[in-house]
A and B are shown apart, each in its own frame.
Chain A
Amino acid sequence: GENVEQHPSTLSVQEGDSAVIKCTYSDSASNYFPWYKQELGKGPQLIIDIRSNVGEKKDQRIAVTLNKTAKHFSLHITETQPEDSAVYFCSGEAGNEKLTFGTGTRLTIIP
């Protein structure tokens, strides 16, 4: 089955700087890669997703890149703000109707 690895497990960045979280996946059949943000005491919430037919997708300060050859994808957050502090999960779905999640990255924005 699919295996998704995520790095780093914790990340601290100065407010206004950029943050990058990287994930790799194992199943070459995977074709859908959503990113979820989990704030304290809440359930995860989708922030951006990408499908295998594109290499990059942007939504304001958030972007995701996908390299199918290398089987890795990354989340980029620019101009970070305090409200970006949360746990971020990457995930992959290989057509078997279930998402496999990475172990999460705890992002802390330092004011």
Chain B
Amino acid sequence: DSGVTQTPKHLITATGQRVTLRCSPRSGDLSVYWYQQSLDQGLQFLIQYYNGEERAKGNILERFSAQQFPDLHSELNLSSLELGDSALYFCASSAGFANTGELFFGEGSRLTVL
């Protein structure tokens, strides 16, 4: 158990809809990262927050947004969903930044868009 909690584990929705994925980082970790894993694809970095502030941005679509709350949990909002958004979305946390040590990943939220 990594200590990172993601909900929901599975989500099925229709095109055009909006969903929210939630992540609770390990106790004491200030950084939260969101990654997208599509079939046969690696882990695509979406966005990072550190102590409530956006720290780094990757290939995140404009239809997607995220935030980190004062209690350090984070939410990833996906809107106007398309079939191609079907993927496994991972949240990871770390004490500091990515180059200082281990990222702890949750078990992911599997999104299916029909």
Are A and B subunits of one complex? yes
Q: Which stretch in A11-19, A57-65, A75-83, A88-96 binds the other chain?
A: A88-96
A-B pair count, CB < 8 Å, reads 62
Number of B residues, CB within 8 Å of A: 25
Q: Annotate A32-47 by CB proximity to B: 1 below 8 A, 0 otherwise.
A: 1010100001111110
CA distance A98 to B100 in the complex (A): 11
B42 cross-chain contacts in A, Cβ below 8 A: 4, 6, 89, 101-104
B90 touches A41 (CB 8 A): no
Q: Which residues does B use to contact A, with CB under 8 Å? A: 2, 4, 33, 35, 40-45, 48, 55-56, 58, 90, 92, 97-99, 102-103, 105-108
Q: Which residues does A use to contact B, with CB under 8 Å? A: 4, 6, 31-32, 34, 36, 41-46, 49, 89, 91, 93, 95-104
